[in-house]
Structure 1
Amino acid sequence: MKEGPDIARVAALLGDPARANMLTALVSGRALTAAELAQEAGVTPQTASSHLAKLEAGQIVTLRRQGRHRYFTLSGPDIVEALEVLMGIANRVGHNRVRTGPKDPALRKARVCYDHLAGEMGVALFSGLAARKLIVSDHNGVMLSDAGVSFADEFGIDLDGLRRNRRPLCRECLDWSARQSHLAGAFGAALLSRFYDLGWARRSKDSRIVTFSPKGEQSFKSLCDAPETISRFL
């Protein structure tokens, strides 16, 4: 008998089309009800409940109760990473749904992946921070350089607070639409939160789209491109 992780069981949970649609909807980081997920999957509420029970038993999703309401979320950032990688593979080998609707270009430009910035602007952020040597990569993954630590402090991010949780500070996440890396982890999430606080961007109420104001997009581009002190962007 083989020993080690049973990837076939996990793959079977992710591979059902209805469950895959539900999980893709949850990549946004929002908690959704069974009824909302049934709509995303195009199945009846009873069928959705059956699928969700399997995903919960497999520790792919987590049930959260708020009063009379029951919400589902992905069980952790590693599930988000796995789904984004699978999206990237599907895109690379041509297994794509037909893109429709005016929101798609905006979704590809900037969107939320769990709680960090993805899309073309997410990739630009990762590339810009790397070019400025604020983040560096080695065989252990991505990390902040000494200059990156100073940058985070100047930009108003509490690294000590981020380090107190168990989540990795920086993590490379494959962007399914751009097929390049964007920045995940606690620091990636903190950067997006800071963009909101500064009024550079806002998240769409009913989708994963992140919309930057003209001034915010200009400041974002300068942040990615310029080596000057960050104080001039605040």
Structure 2
Amino acid sequence: MPTRGAELAGLAALLADRTRADICLALLDGRAWTAGELARHTGVAPSTTTEHLNRLLDGGLLIERRQGRHRYVQLAGAPVAELLEAMVAHLNPSDSAATGLRTATVAAALARGRTCYDHLAGRLGVVVTDAMTARGLLDSDGGFALTASGLDWLTGPMGVEPAALHATRRPIARPCLDWTERRVHLGGSAGAHLCRRLGELAWIKRVGTGRAVRVTVRGEAGLAEVLGIDPMALR
């Protein structure tokens, strides 16, 4: 039987290849991708991409979904996404300058606001987490948990179904270290459902086809009303 050390080494080996690492980071947007889309994204031949995907599937980092003749892959779940984000957060900030206007624009958009699998990250995620803490909705001192007021707020004004928070084995709230802000944002079931509701309310909108999101004019007004967030803090 493999030791835990051997199992950990096997997991590390899966991410020790740049192409496999790039695939996993792309899948942090929470969507299901085809092998062809990932091949174009990584700049690797489709046959090689398939080999990498099979290794990641066998290693339990990805799951496969089939729809007709099409094969889609996505991260195996929130714990995998949180592991990847935590690993990226431990890297030293990149000193390399952006190689072009498009690269700089994408980087700025991701830093301003993005999804971390299914919850908010970047400056937006941290600002929302700070505002929830300041209003007594989130307790970040005695552990990291929604307070009674926070649970009432999330299932009341924000419209999250109470049963939905407990529908998975995930913790309701957990701190997720943000790799651009170097501070924590709200993850867990509460973070996922809050992100979903902000999208349903049209308070946030995805930028292009990637992970970046922006706060809409309606969202600026809504977040100012329910959390007292200054719109300038979101820009």
Bigger drift between 117-126 and 161-170 goes to 161-170
Q: What is the match of residue 78 of structure 1?
A: 79
Assess if the C-alpha contact under 8 Å between 1:19 and 1:41 holds in 2.
no
Equivalent of residue 163 in structure 1, options 142, 166, 169: 166
Deviation at 1:102, TM superposition (A): 2.0
Bigger drift between 202-211 and 172-181 goes to 202-211
Bigger drift between 167-176 and 216-225 goes to 216-225
Equivalent of residue 103 in structure 1, options 102, 106, 115: 106
Q: What is the match of residue 12 of structure 2?
A: 11
Q: Does 1:208 align with 2:187?
A: no
Q: Does 1:24 align with 2:25?
A: yes
The 2-side partners of 1:170 and 1:49 are apart by 35
Normalised TM-score (structure 2): 0.87
Q: What is the match of residue 229 of structure 1?
A: none
Q: What is the match of residue 152 of structure 2?
A: 150
RMSD: 2.1
Deviation at 1:52, TM superposition (A): 0.7
Normalised TM-score (structure 1): 0.87
The 2-side partners of 1:172 and 1:97 are apart by 29
The 2-side partners of 1:19 and 1:31 are apart by 16
Q: What is the match of residue 228 of structure 2?
A: 225
The 2-side partners of 1:193 and 1:2 are apart by 40
Q: What is the match of residue 53 of structure 1?
A: 54
The 1-side partners of 2:14 and 2:95 are apart by 20
The 2-side partners of 1:105 and 1:94 are apart by 14
The 2-side partners of 1:206 and 1:28 are apart by 9
Identity %: 39
Structure 1 residue ranges (4+ consecutive) displaced by more than 3 angstroms after TM superposition? 94-99, 221-226
User: Can you list the C-alpha shifts for 1:104-162, whole angstroms capped at 9, x where unaligned?
Assistant: 212211111111111101011111111222111467x4221111121112221112222
The 2-side partners of 1:104 and 1:192 are apart by 21
Matched length: 223
Unaligned runs of 5+ in 2: 230-235
| Residues 66 and 96 of structure 1: CA distance in aligned 2, closer, same or farther (over 3 Å) | farther
Deviation at 1:15, TM superposition (A): 1.7
Assess if the C-alpha contact under 8 Å between 1:124 and 1:224 holds in 2.
no
Deviation at 1:35, TM superposition (A): 1.1
User: Can you list the C-alpha shifts for 1:38-64, whole angstroms capped at 9, x where unaligned?
Assistant: 122221111111111111110011111
The 1-side partners of 2:144 and 2:75 are apart by 23
The 2-side partners of 1:179 and 1:12 are apart by 26
| Residues 119 and 98 of structure 1: CA distance in aligned 2, closer, same or farther (over 3 Å) | same
| Residues 108 and 221 of structure 1: CA distance in aligned 2, closer, same or farther (over 3 Å) | farther
Q: Secondary structure at the match of 1:13?
A: helix
Assess if the C-alpha contact under 8 Å between 2:25 and 2:84 holds in 1.
yes
Assess if the C-alpha contact under 8 Å between 2:205 and 2:214 holds in 1.
yes
Deviation at 1:222, TM superposition (A): 4.2
Q: What is the match of residue 232 of structure 2?
A: none
Q: Secondary structure at the match of 2:26?
A: helix
Q: What is the match of residue 231 of structure 1?
A: none
Paired letter, 1:209: A
Unaligned runs of 5+ in 1: 227-234
